[in-house]
């Protein structure tokens, strides 16, 4: 019998139906994929199983043939179901080991008598994550924080581990390691529920895969019988290849940004690069290679220690972010919920916040002008829902990202720095974002893009730099090389390091 049995489960959020009569049986010892566009309901379904939504759903959930009556994430954990959230839930100020054993520490009468180190070591021997147990979580990269979450689930003797988009911030070799871990766990009779946008990943490790579309269960089948195309077909209801918009063939000549031998406190060193007006420049590299740090340095978040940054012929070494924005540089960061959006404000307020001067007559804001402009942007970027005062907290990743793009289009910058612009974004929204990026280029806006999806950088950029170990190794023209070549050279470098 199935360990988890989902019977006629439906869920709506204040009137919007997000899941519709889902029926699904999940067995131990399997890896089960959940795929669908953003908004298809796959995260919602995962969260219902994981207890995030408590009892707030219709239908029945059976665990080990027992119908559950009371349900929340703690009860789920007691029943052996652990959820690893897309937005990681760790205590940043505590160490790795303290986070892992949080809530289940060794103690006698509430006081610590022995450290949890031996338990940690036991686990580490099994999975070999190579984390320093005493590092503070705040100091770890997202990929490592995720490992902490996985270890947390394992020490709680979970039988079921739900992973919601676990790979979106991992490098290729980290994904391979995660997959190997999943397969090992499967052998030990764990059930892994794997929610992901990355269909290749799903096909690689899952036994079965379930496709959701608009809250409906489209199909569940063995992943052997599926292909990337057949899954996308199910997700979209039609076949769609991800295509990149055509690059303009125009010749770029006016250099707008130039870095000369730049080193910075964040660890990048001796970076020299150029970006021309209207050009899309890619930074290709693995997580931790320094690609994000290059953007942060240009934007003035991290201080530079040597070299110079010239923007439009002017030295901008010592500018802070307010001044860089004034100079026409914008940045859309990786962690959009934390760093990009004000979740308590609505779509309109988020879009206009960086350029309120243009709406102000010096005393008050012109709210009609604001509404018109925002409505225009929302329409142009195809943001759904299309209310100008929509609550962005409930928007899908793709639509939140579009709101951020709208914000910066409103500022009308000369240079846009994009860090993982399509992380956690569904296929439909992705191609829209690609279009927007090319549109920027046509308007003469320079774009520098960083992404873990190498295809994306290759497909979008006119020119790209290979970044490794905090510095630039090479410069390539994506159109005159292949993805294989790039991966080869990135991993050739990787081999040397290990």
Partner 1 sequence: MKNINFSFFNFFREYAVLILIVFLMIVLTLSSDAFLTPRNLLNILNQNAPLAIIASALTLVIIVGGFDLSTASIFAVASVSAAWIAVNVNPYLGLFITPFIGILLGSLNGFILTFFKVHSFLSTIATSLVFRGMAILITGGFLIPVRMKEFVWLGREKILEVHVAVYILIAFAVISTIILNKSKIGRYIFAIGGNEEAAILSGIKVNLVKIFAFSFCGLAAGIAGAIQVSRISMGTSQAGLGMELEAIAAVILGGTSIYGGAGAVWRSIAGVMLLALINNGFNILNADPFYKDLTTGIIIIAAVALTSGKK
CB closer to partner 1 out of 100 and 199: 100
408: three-class secondary structure by DSSP? helix
**Contacts to partner 1 by CB under 8 A:** 73-74, 77, 83, 85, 89-94, 98-99, 102-105, 107, 110-112, 152, 265, 305
Torsions phi, psi for 276 (to 5 deg)? -105, 165
Least separation in angstroms between CB 79 and partner 1: 12
Least separation in angstroms between CB 85 and partner 1: 8
CB closer to partner 1 out of 12 and 317: 317
The answer to whether the beta carbons of residues 273 and 472 sit under 8 Å apart is yes
CB closer to partner 1 out of 45 and 77: 77
CB closer to partner 1 out of 165 and 208: 165
Least separation in angstroms between CB 286 and partner 1: 26
Give the Cα separation of 75 and 83 in Å (integer).
12
Least separation in angstroms between CB 155 and partner 1: 11
Least separation in angstroms between CB 495 and partner 1: 30
* Length, in residues, of the chain: 498
Give the Cα separation of 40 and 197 in Å (integer).
11
Least separation in angstroms between CB 58 and partner 1: 24
CA-wise closest residue to 212 among 432, 442, 11: 11
Buried b (16+ CB within 10 A) or exposed e, 333-351: bbebeeebbebebbbbbbb
Cα distances (Å, whole numbers) of residue 18 to 10, 41, 150, 396, 457: 8, 6, 28, 12, 33
Number of helices and strands in the chain (H, E): 16, 20
Over 203-225, what HEC string results?
HHHCCEEEEEECCEEEEEEEHHH
Neighbour tally for 455: CB within 10 Å: 14
DSSP H helices in 65-115: 73-78, 96-100
Give the Cα separation of 388 and 401 in Å (integer).
15
* HSE-CB of 149 using CA atoms within 13 angstroms: 26
CB closer to partner 1 out of 112 and 488: 112
Least separation in angstroms between CB 291 and partner 1: 23
337: three-class secondary structure by DSSP? helix
Least separation in angstroms between CB 277 and partner 1: 35
CB closer to partner 1 out of 89 and 356: 89
Least separation in angstroms between CB 266 and partner 1: 13
Beta strands in 36-75 (DSSP E): 58-63, 66-67
CB closer to partner 1 out of 92 and 315: 92
CB closer to partner 1 out of 69 and 110: 110
CB closer to partner 1 out of 88 and 487: 88
């Amino acid at each position: 019998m199935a360990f988890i049995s989902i019977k006629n489960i439906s869920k709506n959020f204040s009137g919007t139906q997000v899941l519709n009569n889902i029926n699904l049986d999940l067995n131990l010892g399997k890896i089960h994929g959940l795929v669908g566009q953003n908004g298809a309901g796959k995260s919602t379904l995962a969260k219902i199983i994981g207890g995030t939504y408590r009892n707030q759903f219709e239908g029945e959930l059976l665990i080990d043939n027992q119908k559950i009556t009371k349900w929340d994430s703690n009860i789920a954990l007691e029943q052996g179901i652990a959820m690893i959230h897309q937005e990681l839930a760790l205590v940043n100020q505590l160490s790795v080991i303290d986070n892992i054993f949080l809530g289940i520490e060794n103690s006698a009468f509430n006081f610590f008598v022995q450290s949890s180190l031996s338990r940690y070591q036991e686990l580490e021997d099994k999975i070999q994550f190579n984390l320093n147990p005493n590092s503070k979580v705040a100091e770890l990269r997202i990929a490592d924080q995720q490992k902490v979450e996985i270890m947390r689930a394992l020490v709680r003797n979970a039988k079921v581990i739900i992973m919601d988009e676990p790979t979106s911030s991992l490098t290729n070799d980290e994904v391979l390691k995660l997959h190997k871990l999943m397969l090992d766990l499967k052998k030990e009779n764990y059930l892994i529920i794997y929610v992901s946008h990355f269909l290749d990943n799903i096909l690689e490790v899952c036994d079965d895969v379930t496709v959701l579309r608009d809250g409906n269960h489209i199909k569940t089948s063995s992943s052997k019988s599926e292909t990337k195309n057949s899954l996308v077909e199910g997700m979209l209801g039609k076949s769609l290849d991800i295509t990149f918009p055509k690059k303009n063939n125009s010749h770029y000549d006016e250099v707008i940004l130039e870095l000369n031998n730049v080193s910075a406190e964040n660890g990048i060193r001796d970076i020299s690069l150029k970006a021309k007006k209207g050009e899309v420049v890619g930074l290709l590299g693995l997580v931790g290679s320094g690609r994000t740090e290059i953007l942060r340095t240009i934007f003035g978040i991290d201080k530079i220690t040597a070299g110079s940054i010239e923007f439009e012929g002017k030295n901008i070494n010592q500018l802070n972010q307010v001044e860089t924005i004034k100079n026409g540089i914008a940045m859309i960061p990786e962690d959009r919920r934390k760093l990009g959006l004000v979740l308590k404000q609505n779509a309109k307020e988020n879009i206009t916040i960086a350029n309120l001067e243009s709406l102000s007559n010096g005393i008050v804001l012109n709210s009609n002008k604001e509404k018109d402009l925002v409505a225009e942007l929302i329409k142009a970027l195809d943001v759904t829902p299309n209310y100008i005062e929509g609550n962005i907290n409930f928007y899908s990743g793709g639509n939140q990202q579009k709101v951020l793009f709208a914000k910066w289009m409103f500022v009308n910058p000369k240079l846009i720095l994009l860090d993982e612009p399509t992380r956690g974004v569904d296929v439909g929204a992705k191609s829209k974002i690609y279009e927007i990026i090319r549109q920027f280029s046509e308007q003469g806006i320079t774009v520098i893009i960083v992404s873990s999806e190498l295809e994306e950088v290759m497909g979008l950029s006119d020119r790209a730099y290979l970044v490794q170990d905090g510095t630039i190794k090479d410069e390539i023209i994506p159109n005159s090389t292949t993805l294989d070549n790039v991966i080869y050279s990135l991993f050739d470098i990787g081999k040397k390091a290990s």
